[in-house]
């Protein structure tokens, strides 16, 4: 029986060494160490042995079983390491290759234009003010010299929520609110950027939602020449020092006198072309001296205080500055268009 156990040990160790897969090792384990294996059969025959032989053969059988088990475990660990190494070779990553670039976004062109205009006017001492987009009829119209029934209201088709609440048609209500907060006793020097809403049919030059920046300066002895100086500085900084400006008479209910400001066409240098429709000039914004009624409704003594106001559309500024021909490009979220201006 001792010789049989030693023989089984040698057979099992040899099969373990020859095994090339984990499954083959599992078969060796079951064959020699399983309940129906030859070592178990030897142990079942120990009843025929003398009392002196039983502990010796029992100890030898356990040693043989342990040696076979250790050999199987070591070979299994070796096979697993080799399999992992092969897998790593097949799935290896070449860290010397350049990584995949991460797409980085940028500010929307309108955001860039608005921030550029804000920086320009901050440099001239203006504050930035904001106000609600859902506005009252009073601040949107009445406080700006547009009483109920005034025909000039027809110039601004409006989204009404109730009879007294609406989506603001311009950012001018922020000016009225700011003047009201000053109680007619302090100067005002501000611009107010933001979104506005009008019931327009969307086309290449119109949108039901767009952005606007309006400016206001109220103080003693404010003159039309002050307005012209500010607008000229704006035109030169935004469009180039070579640009000329001109002011044409116009009408706005909240300013008197009122003007439209044009800049010389950069395409033709003022000589006339298809862009400026042969005039040599391009309309850019509206402005004027604050109407005395607007000052009085906000608590200012119109005989002591005067001021000027102006309003512009960042979309139009961007379209002129970058040669964009359709306002809808700003709102259709086409990344191919928007990504061209991340560094504008």
pLDDT in tens, 258-313: 999 999 988 777 788 877 788 889 899 999 999 999 999 999 999 999 999 999 99
pLDDT of residue 249: 95
- Does 102 map to a domain? no
pLDDT of residue 176: 94
Residue position matching structure tokens 């001109």? 246
In contact, 198 and 157? CB cutoff 8 Å? yes
Question: Does residue 123 share a domain with residue 22?
Answer: no
Average pLDDT across each block of 10 residues of the chain; the chain has 344 residues. List them in order: 76 84 85 77 69 74 82 87 83 76 87 95 95 94 86 74 92 94 92 92 87 96 95 93 92 93 84 81 94 93 95 92 89 89 71
Reported as a single tens digit per residue, the pLDDT across 37-49 is: 777 777 666 666 6
Question: Does residue 82 share a domain with residue 165?
Answer: no
Omega of the bond leading into 137 within 30 degrees of 0 (cis): no
Question: Does residue 319 share a domain with residue 188?
Answer: yes
pLDDT of residue 329: 92
- Does 101 map to a domain? no
- Does 199 map to a domain? yes
Question: Does residue 183 share a domain with residue 152?
Answer: yes
What pTM was computed for the model? 0.68
Pairing of strands 165-167, 245-252: unpaired
- Binding residues for Mg(2+), by number, are 256
pLDDT of residue 313: 94
Question: Does residue 288 share a domain with residue 169?
Answer: yes
* Residue ranges in 91-222 assigned as alpha helix (H): 109-123, 137-140, 172-182
* Residue ranges in the chain assigned as alpha helix (H): 2-18, 22-33, 38-44, 53-90, 109-123, 137-140, 172-182, 224-239, 292-297, 314-322, 335-338
Question: Does residue 124 share a domain with residue 59?
Answer: no
Question: Does residue 87 share a domain with residue 113?
Answer: no
In contact, 191 and 184? CB cutoff 8 Å? no
- Binding residues, by number, are 256
The domain boundary residue, chosen from 91, 121, 153: 91
CA distance 22 to 73: 10
- Does 104 map to a domain? no
For 135, the token pair is 């506005």
The domain boundary residue, chosen from 62, 91, 120: 91
pLDDT of residue 156: 66
The domain boundary residue, chosen from 64, 91, 118: 91
Question: Does residue 141 share a domain with residue 264?
Answer: yes
pLDDT of residue 155: 64
CA distance 197 to 166: 9
Which structural domain, as residue segments, surrounds residue 72? 2-91
Pick from 263, 252, 262, 258: nearest CA to 172: 252
Question: Does residue 159 share a domain with residue 40?
Answer: no
Domain count, the chain: 2
């Amino acid at each position: 029986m001792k010789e049989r156990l030693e023989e089984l040990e040698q057979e099992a160790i040899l099969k373990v060494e020859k095994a090339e897969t984990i499954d083959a090792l599992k078969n060796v384990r079951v064959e020699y160490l399983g309940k129906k294996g030859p070592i178990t059969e030897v142990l079942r025959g120990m009843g025929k042995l003398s009392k002196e032989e039983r502990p010796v053969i029992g100890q030898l059988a356990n040693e043989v079983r342990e040696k076979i088990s250790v050999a199987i475990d070591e070979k299994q660990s070796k096979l697993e390491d080799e399999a992992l190494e092969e897998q790593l070779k097949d799935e290896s990553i070449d860290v010397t290759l350049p990584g995949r670039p991460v797409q980085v976004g940028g500010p929307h062109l309108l955001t860039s234009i608005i921030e550029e205009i804000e920086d320009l006017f901050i440099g001239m001492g203006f504050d930035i003010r904001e106000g609600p987009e859902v506005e009252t009829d009073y601040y949107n119209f009445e406080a700006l010299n547009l009483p109920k029934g005034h025909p000039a209201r027809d110039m601004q088709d409006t989204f009404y929520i109730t009879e007294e609440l609406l989506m603001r048609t311009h950012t001018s209500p922020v000016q009225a609110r700011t003047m009201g907060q000053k109680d007619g006793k302090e100067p005002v020097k501000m611009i107010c950027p933001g979104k506005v809403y009008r019931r327009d049919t969307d086309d290449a030059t119109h949108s039901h939602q767009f952005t606007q920046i309006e400016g206001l300066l109220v103080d003693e002895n404010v003159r039309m020449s002050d307005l012209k100086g500010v607008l000229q500085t704006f035109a030169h900084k935004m469009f180039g020092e070579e640009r000329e400006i001109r002011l044409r008479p116009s009408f706005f209910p909240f300013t008197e006198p009122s003007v439209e400001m044009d800049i010389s066409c950069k395409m033709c240098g003022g000589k006339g072309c298809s862009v400026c429709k042969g005039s040599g000039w391009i309309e850019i914004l509206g402005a004027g001296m604050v109407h005395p009624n607007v000052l009085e409704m906000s608590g200012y003594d119109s005989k002591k205080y005067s001021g000027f106001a102006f309003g512009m559309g960042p979309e139009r500024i961007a379209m002129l500055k970058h040669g964009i021909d359709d306002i809808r490009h700003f709102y259709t979220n086409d990344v191919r268009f928007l990504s061209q201006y991340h560094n504008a």
